Structure 1
Amino acid sequence: MTLASRIDRVLVGGGADDVLLKTYPTYALNKVTMHGPKGKLLLDNVGFSCYAGHSYALLIQDDPDSGLTADAKRRTLMGVMTGLIHPGAGAVMNKSANIAELDPIELRGHRLGIVPQRHALQPYLDAEKNVLYAMNASNRNFLKPKPVIARELLAKVGFTEATSGVAVGKLPEVQQRLVAIARAISTEAEVLILDEPTHGLNEDDTVTVFAALAKLAHSGDPKRCVIVLTASREIAEAADTLFEI
């Protein structure tokens, strides 16, 4: 059974919604070009559009002709997509806003939920405090007590360990990934960007993580646009839509 089929079996009501045509996509790259040191071309006219309510995968592969590795492209793309790097040409858009023109706190504390490969968690804090850390950093106002929201978010992503009293660095790797996802959605961002979120996990744990992401995309308020960067075609094909970079 393929990974996509297994995830479909895990999901409750797992059919994807139809894309609603809107004036602006929830998130888009418009003809983004980026050069590295010595003028090496890292991204060449990259463009795609993503909508809330759907999951997307960016399949990033080596380019033998130019000698550019998938890892170099992935790191560059992750930086550009999250606003840490401004493209040499083109634009990264969140609806009608060019993210290069947004305040960093507005961007990463309100609009984008980000799960990097490294430093996605504070390993010495427990799960609840990890989510609270992100909530406090966002400068947002919340309608309920933040610890209550943190526990609700952990439940939402399928976290099954104790929410307090145990450092997340001591938890199974799959549970750590779920805490990182709960942190990323703690500011109610419509766009969730994840860098190889299933890297190093076995197949069962991969299904657990990707099923949680699919649920976040397809259900809830707000519905989210979930974008996974990966070098694995099997992972990429589990998303609703695949873009090859």
Structure 2
Amino acid sequence: MPRELIDLLWRDHPDAPSGGARGPRARISTGSVVEAAIRLADADGLGAVTIRRLAADLGVSTMSIYTHVNTRDDLLVLMADVAHGSAAPAPEGGASPSADWREQVRLLAEANLDLLRRHPWLLEIADDRSALGPGTIAKYDHELAALAPLGLDDVATDAALTFVLDFVRASARALRPQPHAGELAASWPQWGPRLAGYLGDDFPLAQRVGAAAGEAMGGVGEPSLAWSFGLARVLDGLAALRP
């Protein structure tokens, strides 16, 4: 049987129990299972990550996979932790109190957006147990250092980080490729006049603001502009918390 999830997360720690039964050396390791699952999710989405598919990709039996992970849900936690760890730089000490905190938080937000673009399946994993892993903790520690120059108390610092990361996750969802991208723009010359006819004098505010925003953005929305606008407001909000 595989180890408990906490021990699987910390499997490379010198104090972690080895687990497993005595016998011939395993053809695969827990790490190789997790890395294969990440490659599969990157290529085909999280729905493609099944124990059967992993076994086929690794050339082993499904029971061999289950000797390394207890359940698919546990596997997702391990995947998230490895991905988080890849975004956490090596410890270099805390940030200086005089550091440009706005630039640090901006870089923090952009790094998380890049992480979610490289591994969009992370948006589908909502499991608090990933917070127990070394990769996630290293990422958390690094990100807290970026917020340290704000001078907030510990609880407020944690809340501020959650505020930033929630904004990034929402933006990452908005920035995902749309299945009908371009269809509205192509259809607008025919649909626009018909929509105006349907609306008549109703919803004047929506019509005025929507027309102005659409002209400025070249469509009904521009996620990259929303990202820039939103991140600036996030930074302004944090600035207001400084003691």
- Provide the TM-score with structure 2 as the length reference: 0.25
Which one scores higher on RCO, CA 8 angstroms, separation ≥ 6?
Answer: 1
Which structure shows the higher strand fraction?
1
- The structure that has the greater radius of gyration is 2
- Provide the TM-score with structure 1 as the length reference: 0.25
